[in-house]
Amino acid sequence: MSARRAGLSRRGFLGMLGGTALAATGCGEVAGELLTGSAPMPAPFTVPLPIPQVARPVSPGLYEVTQRVARVEILPGLRTEVWGYDGTFPGPTFELRRGEPATVRVRNELPVPTSTHLHGGVTPPGSDGYPTDLVIPAGGHSGHSAHMTHPGEVHHEGTKDYRYPVGQRAATLWYHDHRMDYTAPSVWQGLAGFALVRDEEEDALPLPAGERELPLLICDRSFAEDGSLRYPRTHEGHDSDYMEGVEGDVILVNGAPWPVHEVTATRYRLRLLNASNARRLRLRLAPGGRFTQIGSDSGLLAAPVRHDTLPMAPGERYDVVVDFSAYPVGSTVTLVNTLADGPAGQIMRFVVARRAKDDSAVPTTLSRPPERPVPVTTRSFDFRRTGQSWTINGRVYRPGDLLARPRLGTAEVWRLTSDFHHPVHLHLAHFLVLARNGRPPAATDAGWKDTVDVRPYEVVDVLARFEGYRGRYMLHCHNLEHEDMAMMADFEVV
């Protein structure tokens, strides 16, 4: 048993079972508990939007990235210690191309072990970031891990080469820490970044590009008065008052609080990612306007879909185009979150600075995604609180316990049921959302995905394709506190 679970049973949660926990969240759309910070908050829309550096290979197909502690300015005038890939938060953006394999050599100079998962990647099992496949800190910091040994734990001393074949379609992927019991605090501390896969099918489209293509990593954090990140941890593990998940009171986009970005009155491609631990978002443009969705988690849609609002659970991405020529020059367009009042109700602002030539377009036909396969079987996975743990089919996660053995090259219907908000993520397998409560899915469920928002007492059917590699993979809740509190399971592609 991990220190985490020991901590939970010590504190106890008997009064918060099932529907009581849901009722405690008020409006029913919030998945976590708010952790209030004490640092002075900057005025919104004053800090410029940062764009993460693009990672450069040290030789063709080989990247080196060092996980290290850094002190960075997130809140104006204060220094915040982060754990960053190359000391940055977000980490560098990896620009990958279909058919061009990449190796990422991760060196760990943090005080803790890590495991890096490429979220949405079709990756061989040895490079998928299994939670007990650990890179132990270089230079002898490994004492921290000594008492956290799990059965079958693998240790790489100092560095590990993650091998990515990149055989998949163009898509907005991201990477983040995935260590057993510690994903939530490690990601909160900064271990997340983008990986963009491009391909010829996408190259052929006249989509906005260059400065008009913006990756936007949205997450919430809380800061202490000295600028340090707050996170509710006891020395034994998670603070059990935050079992539902941790929500921060500061919204960051690419690591900046409520940033502002100047745009021309043209189309922009926004690659939106909700990288929050637990916070669900519902994005809208103010004073109005629509998102033209061109891609989902796993790549371009067949045809664009227009939305007024975008619900985003942790881990989900939307690839959208916003046409700023619809707004007067000199006006502002604010990306807002209608699921929160107060500071977390604002995300960032665009200032429409001037007119400019625009050769871009959103074609009515975007791509040819994989066709809908015929499923060979149906399996059920119930995401639920059981006693003092978050469980799948009543089971607390144990590495190596298999919940399913799908066959390579087949497709299956996975029926996901839930007692609460659980964004369900499958490693390796991409899926189509077939139904919610037996009815057609939402328009925003369009396309191939790897993460789906399963809401309280909802039944979501997805059709998953098991393509790529045999071996051990995972499904889990992407509320990172739930994930760390055992809401994971292994499956093996055979």
Q: How far is the CB of 451 from Cu ion (least distance, A)?
A: 12
Does 296 interact with Cu ion (rule: CB under 5 A)? no
Q: How far is the CB of 383 from Cu ion (least distance, A)?
A: 6
- The identity of residue 98, as a single letter, is R
Q: How far is the CB of 460 from Cu ion (least distance, A)?
A: 13
SS3 sequence of the chain: CCHHHHHHHHHCCHHHCCHHHHHHCCCCCCCCEECCCCCCCCCCCCCECCCCCECCCCECCEEEEEEEEEEECCCCCCCEEEEEECCECCCCEEEEECCCCEEEEEEECCCCCECEEEECCCCCHHHCCCCCEEEECCCCCHHHHHHHCCCCCEEEECEEEEEECCCCCCEEEEEEECCCCCHHHHHHCCCEEEEEEECHHHHCCCCCCHHHEEEEEEEEECECCCCCECCCEECCEECHHHCCCEECCEEEECCEECCEEEEECCEEEEEEEECCCCCCEEEEEECCCCEEEEEECCEEEEEEEEECEEEECCCCEEEEEEEHHHCCCCCEEEEEECCCCHHHHEEEEEEEEECCCCCCCCCCCCCCCCCCCCCCEEEEEEEEEECCEEEECCECCCCCCEEECCCCCCEEEEEEEECCCEEEEECCCEEEEEEECCECCCHHHCCCECEEEECCCCEEEEEEECCCCCEEEEEEECCHHHHHCCCEEEEEEC
Point out which span in 86-94, 337-345, 374-382, 470-478 binds Cu ion (CB under 5 A): 470-478
Under rule CB under 5 A, which residues in 376-435 are in contact with Cu ion? 422
Q: How far is the CB of 159 from Cu ion (least distance, A)?
A: 32
When the beta carbons of 5 and 482 are compared against Cu ion, the nearer one is: 482
CB atoms within 10 A of CB 86: 18
Does 476 interact with Cu ion (rule: CB under 5 A)? no
Q: How far is the CB of 203 from Cu ion (least distance, A)?
A: 37
Point out which span in 161-169, 201-209, 312-320, 482-490 binds Cu ion (CB under 5 A): 482-490
When the beta carbons of 102 and 477 are compared against Cu ion, the nearer one is: 477
Binds Cu ion by CB under 5 A, chosen from 67, 346, 388, 479:
479
Point out which span in 145-153, 217-225, 287-295, 474-482 binds Cu ion (CB under 5 A): 474-482
When the beta carbons of 86 and 490 are compared against Cu ion, the nearer one is: 490
Does 477 interact with Cu ion (rule: CB under 5 A)? yes
When the beta carbons of 4 and 482 are compared against Cu ion, the nearer one is: 482
| Cα 393 from chain centre | 23
When the beta carbons of 179 and 425 are compared against Cu ion, the nearer one is: 425
Q: How far is the CB of 485 from Cu ion (least distance, A)?
A: 9
Q: How far is the CB of 483 from Cu ion (least distance, A)?
A: 7
Point out which span in 200-208, 349-357, 457-465, 471-479 binds Cu ion (CB under 5 A): 471-479
When the beta carbons of 434 and 477 are compared against Cu ion, the nearer one is: 477
Does 482 interact with Cu ion (rule: CB under 5 A)? yes
Point out which span in 145-153, 203-211, 464-472, 475-483 binds Cu ion (CB under 5 A): 475-483
Does 449 interact with Cu ion (rule: CB under 5 A)? no
By CB under 5 A, the count of residues binding Cu ion is: 4
Q: Which of 170, 205, 184 is nearest to 96 (CA)?
A: 170
Q: How far is the CB of 420 from Cu ion (least distance, A)?
A: 6
Point out which span in 231-239, 262-270, 304-312, 477-485 binds Cu ion (CB under 5 A): 477-485
Q: How far is the CB of 136 from Cu ion (least distance, A)?
A: 29
Point out which span in 139-147, 234-242, 294-302, 469-477 binds Cu ion (CB under 5 A): 469-477
When the beta carbons of 240 and 479 are compared against Cu ion, the nearer one is: 479
When the beta carbons of 117 and 271 are compared against Cu ion, the nearer one is: 117
Please give the residue ranges that form the binding site for Cu ion (CB under 5 A): 422, 477, 479, 482
